[in-house]
Amino acid sequence: DVKVTQSSRYLVKRTGEKVFLECVQDMDHENMFWYRQDPGLGLRLIYFSYDVKMKEKGDIPEGYSVSREKKERFSLILESASTNQTSMYLCASRLPGGEQYFGPGTRLTVT
Amino acid sequence: KNEVEQSPQNLTAQEGEFITINCSYSVGISALHWLQQHPGGGIVSLFMLSSGKKKHGRLIATINIQEKHSSLHITASHPRDSAVYICAVISYGGSQGNLIFGKGTKLSVKP
């Protein structure tokens, strides 16, 4: 079974803090993705990576950065958290052309 | 206009009813996904299809490429089917095959 895990299910951070969200997949997938999900807006792509050290901006990259130093791990970084980054964050991975597998999500609250 | 439109947005059914959720898209696609999200956040891939019909248990997904339309059917619905169902497409020429998501259909099945 493909497994995508995320470092935290729930996270509370203060405005201005640096926040790291980690995602690990165990199926040697090339492609990895970070989304945020907000009521009424659906899933929106923040960043994706199709190989180690490769990254591409998605639809809403502002305020975020990513790191992919190893194939199995894709990290999302909020350099200076703001209240409008309170959201559900979902990581996903897949082989090119294959099914997409999602992590359980991290519900981040920025106060 | 959204590239992927789902209907209805919300659906309430009685246990045992036959349910249909519709998805229309406006771009050329290489594949369409149906995803399920239960309360609590985790997203599971139900189907990936590019033509015809697929069946898994009580779930059936169909796609009509010419009409740019897909349906997800649930036979003999059960309260455990209560979830948000999300349609997503991979467009031709889309950057690295990223998914374009519909906003989801929230299904509630009453006992």
Whether residues A100 and B33 touch (CB distance < 8 A) is answered with yes
B95 φ/ψ angles, rounded to the nearest 5 degrees: -60, 110
Q: Which residues contact B66 (CB under 8 A, 6 or more apart)?
A: none
A89 to chain B, any CB pair closer than 8 A? The answer is no
Q: Does A39 touch chain B (CB under 8 A)?
A: no
- What residue type is assigned to position B101 of the chain? F
Q: Do B96 and A102 touch (CB under 8 A)?
A: no
**What is the pLDDT at residue B77?**
97
CB contact under 8 A, B41 and A99: no
User: Percentages helix, strand, coil for chain A, rounded to the nearest 5?
Assistant: 5, 55, 45
pLDDT digits (tens, 9 = 90+) for A41-74: 889 999 999 999 999 999 999 999 999 999 999 9
pLDDT greater than 60 at residue B94: no
CA torsion A91→A95→A98→A100, rounded to 10°?
A: -10
Token digits for B64?
A: 């009509």
The C-alpha R_g of chain A, in whole angstroms, comes to 13
How far is it, in rounded angstroms, from Cα B70 to Cα B68? 7
Per-residue pLDDT of B54-88, as tens digits, reads: 999 999 999 999 999 999 999 999 999 999 999 99
State how far the Cα of A46 lies from the Cα of A44, in Å rounded to an integer. 6
Amino acid A20 reads F
Q: What residue type is assigned to position B18 of the chain?
A: F
CA–CA separation, A105 vs A94, rounded Å? Answer: 16
For B66, how many CA atoms within 13 A lie in the half-sphere containing its CB? Answer: 1
Please give the structure tokens belonging to residue B58.
């009580």
What pLDDT, on the 0 to 100 scale, is given for residue B97?
64
Separation of alpha carbons B23 and A21, rounded Å: 32
- Judge contact between A6 and A108, C-beta under 8 A: no
Residue in A42, A12, A48, A7 with CA at minimum distance from that of residue A24: A7
Of B33, B41, B102, the CB nearest to A42: B102
Alpha-carbon dihedral angle through residues A49, A52, A53, A59, given to the nearest 10 degrees: 0
Reply yes or no on whether the pLDDT at B89 is more than 70. yes
Distance CA B110, CA B17 (A): 10
Locate B104 and state its tokens: 């989801």
Average pLDDT over residues A82-106: 92
**pLDDT interval class at A13 (50, 70, 90):** very high
| Residue B93 pLDDT | 61
Q: Chain A residues with CB inside 8 Å of B35's CB?
A: 100, 102
**pLDDT score of A86 more than 70:** yes
- A56 CB neighbours in chain B (<8 A) are 95-96
As a whole number of angstroms, the distance between CA B66 and CA A103 comes to: 33
Q: What pLDDT shows up at residue B1?
A: 61
Give pLDDT tens digits for B26-56. 988 889 999 999 987 789 999 999 999 999 9
